[in-house]
Chain A
Amino acid sequence: MTNETLTLEAVDVDGAIRETAEAVAGDTRAGFLAKAGLLSGGAFGGSTLLAFTAEAAQAQSRSDVAILNFALTLEYLEAAFYTEAEEMGALDGELALFNQVVAAHERAHVRGLRSALGSAAVKRPRFDFRGTTESASAFTSTAIALEDTGVQAYSGQAPRIKSDAVLVSAGRILTVEARHAAWIRDIAGQDPAPRAFDRPLTMRQVLAAVAETRFIRPARRRRRRQGGSNTGSGTSPRFTG
């Protein structure tokens, strides 16, 4: 993994994925949930997406938390991409409408997933879209890739989700991402539905694809120096004075 921030470790907050999944079958981890302040029963108001019954929340296993954080990472990425494109003024016509609608959807997905995860939610990364939000053609090919990858990511995780309530919510997002994908593909003149069966990808495959874009800025990089300190150097700035 070349990108040091977006690794399996980053979304697999406490190693749930790397444990053998079978070992946590039936494990409600109620103690962990209580400590993490994760319990979130009932509706979350308005159009919030991921409302669970109290009993469903109790059953939210560590691996489901990891899967939701994986989904949240992808939604952060999409929301940030589309939101930046709104500000960059490179789109018009139906492309601009697509962007506006989908940006709102992805931001809502972020809110819903953060709400469901509570304090267990991963933090929003910082992004660098490298000009892809500033050119209609680059935007279009990037959006196709993001939406198709989102479909494959959700498809890949669905069978691994333990909680039925979480599964329903994931399914409801999956189909919307598929609609996004078909929409932008059609705008671009590509096949909206290239196959009879969509193919899932594993979490690792999706994270690798995302890392290759280099859209997510590394967290631990040397801080950019906009300022300097000459303490101890004895010299002064060479301004004209």
Chain B
Amino acid sequence: MSDVISVELLDSRTAVSEALDESRASTRADFFRKAIVGGGAFAAGGVLIAGLPSIALGQKSASQDQEILNFALLLEYLESEFYVEAVDRGALSGETLEFARVVRDHELAHVEFLRSALGNNARSKPQFDFKGTTSDAGMFRATSVVLEDTGVQAYLGQAPRLRRQTLPAAVSIVSVEARHASWIRRIVGKPDYDGRAANYPAPAVLDSPLTRSQVESRVQSTGFIQG
């Protein structure tokens, strides 16, 4: 059963919408003035953290936030359609089926939230071909691990690029994606995970962000998105 979006999140979503809308009403100069006076980091440079790809922050703005949220929406469309189809195909059972149902509902809620925050600027849902991964339990599980881990890494990569006022939305989603990732990894690997840390529900001390283009090429390599 999908969660009704709480009052708090409704407010957050409204705030995000308004934040995204404001650039349309303002002149460019007004926008810059708001960005500076409003406080918060206005970093023009990149963030270089040892061992990680350089995250080009770009200029934080309402329109960049919109672009980022649309990118998130694409990933949420992908995940939600994958889980919808997997549940419908009927190849899943037991805890895998339960995982698929619960996570489907979560991803659908994420889609609804992002669409509502983006309003008319929400991108449309593309066509997907999941290439049999929704009809086979083992392939479903393996694909889910990749999708959820990638979702975590995508949000981590984009979070510092968002204006802080838009960030709560991403933060409330990314931890849930991480829970999903942990959950499916446990279904696959418990109780001893083959003795390999890479198989653990929490495989590393820290999760690593991916840049947008790294996420895009990972997604493209699945071939799931048609056109």
Q: Does A199 contact B48, Cβ atoms closer than 8 Å? A: no
Pick from A49, A169, A187, A195 the residue with the most CB of B within 10 Å. Answer: A195
Chain A residues within an 8 Å CB radius of B105: 196
Q: Does B202 contact A94, Cβ atoms closer than 8 Å? A: no
Q: Does A108 contact B49, Cβ atoms closer than 8 Å? A: no
Which listed residue, B3, B167, B172, B175, touches A175 by the CB 8 Å rule?
Answer: B175
Tell me the bound Cα distance from A195 to B113 in angstroms: 14
Chain B residues within an 8 Å CB radius of A25: 39-40
Chain B positions 81 through 113: 1 when the CB is less than 8 Å from some CB of chain A, otherwise 0: 000000000000000000000110110011001
Task: Pick the interface stretch among A50-58, A83-91, A135-143, A205-213.
Answer: A50-58
Q: For chain A residues 197-218, which have a beta carbon within 8 Å of chain B?
A: 197-200
Tell whether A101 is near chain B: CB-to-CB under 8 Å.
Answer: yes
Interface size on B, residues (CB 8 A): 63
Q: Does B172 contact A197, Cβ atoms closer than 8 Å? A: yes
Q: Does B49 contact A169, Cβ atoms closer than 8 Å? A: yes
Interface size on A, residues (CB 8 A): 62
CB distance from B223 to the nearest CB of A (A): 27
Chain B positions 141 through 177: 1 when the CB is less than 8 Å from some CB of chain A, otherwise 0: 0000000000010011001100011011001111111
Chain A residues within an 8 Å CB radius of B115: none
Q: For chain A residues 27-46, which have a beta carbon within 8 Å of chain B?
A: 42-44
Q: Decide yes or no: A172 and B3 within 8 Å by CB, A167-B160, A200-B171 being known contacts.
A: no
Report whether over half of chain A's contact residues are helix, strand or loop; otherwise say mixed.
helix
Tell me the bound Cα distance from A21 to B40 in angstroms: 10
Q: Does A183 contact B47, Cβ atoms closer than 8 Å? A: no
Chain B residues within an 8 Å CB radius of A109: 205
Chain B residues within an 8 Å CB radius of A26: 39
Q: Does A198 contact B175, Cβ atoms closer than 8 Å? A: yes
Tell whether A178 is near chain B: CB-to-CB under 8 Å.
Answer: yes
Q: Does A49 contact B206, Cβ atoms closer than 8 Å? A: yes
Tell whether A68 is near chain B: CB-to-CB under 8 Å.
Answer: no
A-B pairs with beta carbons under 8 Å apart, 21 shown: A22-B39, A51-B50, A97-B192, A101-B200, A102-B202, A105-B202, A159-B164, A165-B47, A168-B49, A171-B171, A172-B156, A174-B171, A175-B174, A175-B177, A175-B178, A179-B201, A180-B182, A182-B181, A182-B186, A192-B179, A193-B103
